[in-house]
């Protein structure tokens, strides 16, 4: 096997071009066997191979193209495949790949020569390079200005984390870019002003976030600085967040910026603030057009048309996984995002892509950390005219989509699906970072089984994995298959979050000067024995750490002979407040799935009732709902007999009603945050394996073309573990 690259070196200095430093690349893959190592199979309807070696070859090819589009700004990529005496020419873009038939270059060499001759005469743009970006070369004024701003620390500014993120992005081993945003002025007074395009420029380094894969939206996020017309950066310029993506260009799907502008105008809380946005002219995928020309007998085109698009917002957030050292902060951030979703839904917008990556942590003007619901590009208006979705396949992120949505690819997303996605995000981070009754060595497999796994369907698409579907149907998340021994009781058989064990006290306490003294018996003070009241028990660190009375024992005193030492009190295991949130939610979902499958009087596709909740977060984060909107009795009672008799149906109806609006879920989380005692420092190291979890290869179906359009790979970014690997060939 030989991998090669055709370099066409141009004189960048003479031509005054600094876009790609004068080196153009045409990747080539060279293999000896023209059949077993061929990445494409002309005998298959979609051209994708079924043999292991050929699938590996296809995976290799996509990994090379992925590396190119990661490091460069490409609209498309040409690639040559040499297979013995044969060759193929391929063109990759964000919609898919279009490839020629194999031909013998010894016999039909004129085709290859003609292609190379034509390619050598193409411009950068015609070779696939994005003309709206240009390299920022080392030691240029703009390069130095970026470094200066990155090094300008502000110790007294709690939001200096944004500068730190920008500093981290200035990796000298990564190219820096000046990026254009072609924005319209939607608030112009005249039509001409509104249609006028304004080109704004921003300086960026390494992406803060970059979605894996070749086909699909290829989203990249940057911490950026605005660049003035004279290629300088103003001293008072604020850091912003720039999103670069190939959005789905489909009838009825608005630009994300238009949605954000609407939400901003409606004063929806906890959503990004739009600064500018716009499509890039002429940058549209073509694979979908080629597919249609070769499959004229098929009405539906599985490939989507993608339009290159950029968006700039004011807020720069942190990933949700960077929540502070308490589970309280995780739940509070998700609560904020749920408020954003609720208010947007009342304004007529449904998000449709609730996922871990779309919830951010952002510091507000008051110095408080809030949740920010991001990435509204798949949102739609809540006009429930059709029971089917607008796109030819699923909408969302596989790992966090509801089981119903995964099992019904063309079904539209409704509020119950979105609330279930919020639940899955909470479970995902809680299992990774909080103490629970699942052994750490099994966390990787559990994450795969619950979030990544899938079941092939006879009709050629993939359905929800077994673990997630079972949890929704049974109302519990079972972990029996991950236990090393039989569980002692029912509780141990289900996922449960634990109050962290207190640190072991030293047997030789130290005096104030640091010297050791003999261990002496000590009784807990009245203040230490007192539990927090409902009024002040929102979190454990709000309790006074100073006891009202001191124990009579000290380093210079011993107990009286008449006072026998007290036996140690039996410490009762404390219940983690997260369970009071998760258990009721699971019962709601159990009822929803049971009635949908068996005896629901209404269709799951009926329009949800109007949301009646209006969450309030005045001043600093109160994490409460308004009294008139609060839902009482949000904790459902459990019934050990699951038979669907009349009484059970009535109970299920009551539970299912909790998912018709945001009110019950917001009330449940708010009560837990405000009236439960939360542990300190219960966030531990990430239990997700660093190298990911690799399922047995036999668990991966041979064909991976007719899959979901959900946007991300598995959480380990492993090709074999991905439910939606078709994003290599279609979206």
Residue 154's SS3 state is: coil
- Kindly tell me if the per-residue pLDDT of 683 is higher than 70: yes
What's the token pair of residue 10? 């141009």
Question: Which residues touch 551 (CB under 8 Å, ≥6 apart)?
Answer: 522, 523, 524, 525
Place of tokens 């449709």: 352
Task: Round to whole Å and give the CA distance between 123 and 103.
Answer: 27
pLDDT digits (tens, 9 = 90+) for 506-548: 444 443 344 443 333 333 333 333 333 333 333 444 333 333 3
Percent of the chain at pLDDT > 70 equals 73
Mean pLDDT of the chain: 80
- Kindly tell me if the per-residue pLDDT of 699 is higher than 90: no
- Kindly tell me if the per-residue pLDDT of 223 is higher than 80: yes
Range 27-55 average pLDDT:
88
| Closest C-alpha to 600, from 645, 647, 652, 641 | 652
Q: Are 631 and 664 in contact (CB under 8 A)?
A: yes
Using the 8-state DSSP alphabet, how is residue 642 labeled?
-
Residue 217's SS3 state is: coil
- Centroid of chain to Cα 308: 20
Task: Round to whole Å and give the CA distance between 534 and 289.
Answer: 62
Q: Could you tell me the sign of the dihedral formed by the alpha carbons of 327, 333, 339, 344, in that order?
A: negative
Residues 46/50/55/61 CA torsion (nearest 10 deg): -20
Question: Which residues touch 664 (CB under 8 Å, ≥6 apart)?
Answer: 588, 631, 634, 657, 658
pLDDT for 514 equals: 40
Range 681-692 average pLDDT:
93
Q: How confident is the model at residue 268 (pLDDT cuts 50, 70, 90)?
A: very high
Q: Which residue has the higher pLDDT, 302 or 182?
A: 182
Backbone phi, psi, residue 680, to 5°: -85, 145
- Kindly tell me if the per-residue pLDDT of 556 is higher than 80: no
What's the token pair of residue 494? 């289900």
pLDDT digits (tens, 9 = 90+) for 327-362: 999 999 999 999 999 999 999 999 999 999 999 999
pLDDT for 289 equals: 87
What's the token pair of residue 343? 């208010």
pLDDT for 339 equals: 98
Range 51-75 average pLDDT:
92
Q: Which residue has the higher pLDDT, 661 or 538?
A: 661
Task: Round to whole Å and give the CA distance between 352 and 320.
Answer: 19
- Kindly tell me if the per-residue pLDDT of 206 is higher than 50: yes
Place of tokens 């030293």: 506
Task: Round to whole Å and give the CA distance between 3 and 57.
Answer: 12
pLDDT for 42 equals: 84
What's the token pair of residue 88? 């193929």
Q: Are 421 and 355 in contact (CB under 8 A)?
A: yes
Task: Round to whole Å and give the CA distance between 467 and 447.
Answer: 10
Task: Round to whole Å and give the CA distance between 36 and 56.
Answer: 10
Range 72-89 average pLDDT:
95
C-alpha distances (whole Å) from 195 to each of 189, 190, 204, 252, 278 are 11, 9, 27, 20, 11
What's the token pair of residue 695? 């399922």
pLDDT digits (tens, 9 = 90+) for 7-28: 554 444 344 344 554 455 799 9
What's the token pair of residue 682? 């219960």
pLDDT digits (tens, 9 = 90+) for 572-604: 678 999 999 999 999 999 999 999 886 544 444
Q: Poorest-confidence range of 63-67, 551-555, 586-590? A: 551-555
- Kindly tell me if the per-residue pLDDT of 121 is higher than 90: yes
- Kindly tell me if the per-residue pLDDT of 566 is higher than 50: yes
Task: Round to whole Å and give the CA distance between 480 and 288.
Answer: 46
Q: How confident is the model at residue 187 (pLDDT cuts 50, 70, 90)?
A: low
Residues of 189-214 as b/e, b for ≥16 C-beta within 10 angstroms? eeeeeeeeeeebbbbbbbbbeebbbb
């Amino acid at each position: 096997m030989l991998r090669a690259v055709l370099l066409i070196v141009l004189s960048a200095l003479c031509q005054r071009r600094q876009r790609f430093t004068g080196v153009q690349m045409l990747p080539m893959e060279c293999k000896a066997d023209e059949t077993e190592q061929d990445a494409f199979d002309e005998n298959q309807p979609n051209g994708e191979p079924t043999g292991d070696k050929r699938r590996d070859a296809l995976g290799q090819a996509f990994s090379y193209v992925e590396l190119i589009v990661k490091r460069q700004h490409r609209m498309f990529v040409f690639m040559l495949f040499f297979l013995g005496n044969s060759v193929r020419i391929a063109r990759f873009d964000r919609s898919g790949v279009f490839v020629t038939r194999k031909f013998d270059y010894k016999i039909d060499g004129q085709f290859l020569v003609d292609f190379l001759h034509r390619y050598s005469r193409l411009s950068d743009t015609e070779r696939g390079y994005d003309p709206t970006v240009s390299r920022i070369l080392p030691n240029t004024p703009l390069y130095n200005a970026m470094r200066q701003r990155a090094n300008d620390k502000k110790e007294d500014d709690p939001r200096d984390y944004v500068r730190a993120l920008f500093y981290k992005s200035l990796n000298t081993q990564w190219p820096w870019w000046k990026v254009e945003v072609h924005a319209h002025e939607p608030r112009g007074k005249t039509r001409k002003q509104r249609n006028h395009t304004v080109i704004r420029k921003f300086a960026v380094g390494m992406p803060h976030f970059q979605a894996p894969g070749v086909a699909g939206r290829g989203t990249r996020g940057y911490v950026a600085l605005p660049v003035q017309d004279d290629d300088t950066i103003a001293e008072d310029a604020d850091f912003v967040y720039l999103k670069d993506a190939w959005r789905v260009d489909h009838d009825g799907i608005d630009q994300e910026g238009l949605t954000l502008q609407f939400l901003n105008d409606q004063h929806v809380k906890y959503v990004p603030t739009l600064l500018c946005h716009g499509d890039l002219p002429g940058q549209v995928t073509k694979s979908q057009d080629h597919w249609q020309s070769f499959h004229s007998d098929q009405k539906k085109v599985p490939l989507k048309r993608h339009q290159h698009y950029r968006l700039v917002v004011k807020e720069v957030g942190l990933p949700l996984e960077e929540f502070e050292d308490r589970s309280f902060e995780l739940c509070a951030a998700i609560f904020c995002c749920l408020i954003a979703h609720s208010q947007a839904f009342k304004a007529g917008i449904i998000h449709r892509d609730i996922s871990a990556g779309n919830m951010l942590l952002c510091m507000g003007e008051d110095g408080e950390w809030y949740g920010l619901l991001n990435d509204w590009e798949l949102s739609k208006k809540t006009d429930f005219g059709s029971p089917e979705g607008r796109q030819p396949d699923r909408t969302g992120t596989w790992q966090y989509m509801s089981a119903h949505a995964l099992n019904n690819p063309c079904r539209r997303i409704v509020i119950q699906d979105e609330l279930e996605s919020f639940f899955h995000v909470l479970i995902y981070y809680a299992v990774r970072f909080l103490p629970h009754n699942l052994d750490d060595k099994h966390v990787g497999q559990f994450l795969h089984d619950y979030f990544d796994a899938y079941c092939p369907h006879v009709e050629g698409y993939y359905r929800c994995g077994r673990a997630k579907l079972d949890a929704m149907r049974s109302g519990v998340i079972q972990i029996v298959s991950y236990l090393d021994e039989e569980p002692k009781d029912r509780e141990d058989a289900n996922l449960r979050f634990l109050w962290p064990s207190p640190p072991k006290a030293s047997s030789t306490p130290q005096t104030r000067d640091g010297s050791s003294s003999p261990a002496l018996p000590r009784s807990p003070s009245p203040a230490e024995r007192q539990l927090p009241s409902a009024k002040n028990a929102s979190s454990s660190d709000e309790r006074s750490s100073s006891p009202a009375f001191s124990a009579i024992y000290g380093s210079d005193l011993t107990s009286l002979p008449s006072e026998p030492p007290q036996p140690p009190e039996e410490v009762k295991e404390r219940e983690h407040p997260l369970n009071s949130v998760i258990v009721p939610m699971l019962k709601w979902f159990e009822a929803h799935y049971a009635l949908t499958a068996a005896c629901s009087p209404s269709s799951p596709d009926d329009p949800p009732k109007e949301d009646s909740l209006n969450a309030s977060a005045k001043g600093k984060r109160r994490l409460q709902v308004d009294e008139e909107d609060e839902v009482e009795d949000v904790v459902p009672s459990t019934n050990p007999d699951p038979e669907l008799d009349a009484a059970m149906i009535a109970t299920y109806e009551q539970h299912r009603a909790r998912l018709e609006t945001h009110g019950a879920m917001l009330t449940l989380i708010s009560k837990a945050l405000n009236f439960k005692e939360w542990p300190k420092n219960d966030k531990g190291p990430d239990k997700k394996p660093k190298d990911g979890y690799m399922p047995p290869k036999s668990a991966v179906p041979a064909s991976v073309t007719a899959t979901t359009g959900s946007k991300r790979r598995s959480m380990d970014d492993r090709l074999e573990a991905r439910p939606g690997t078709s994003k290599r060939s279609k979206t």
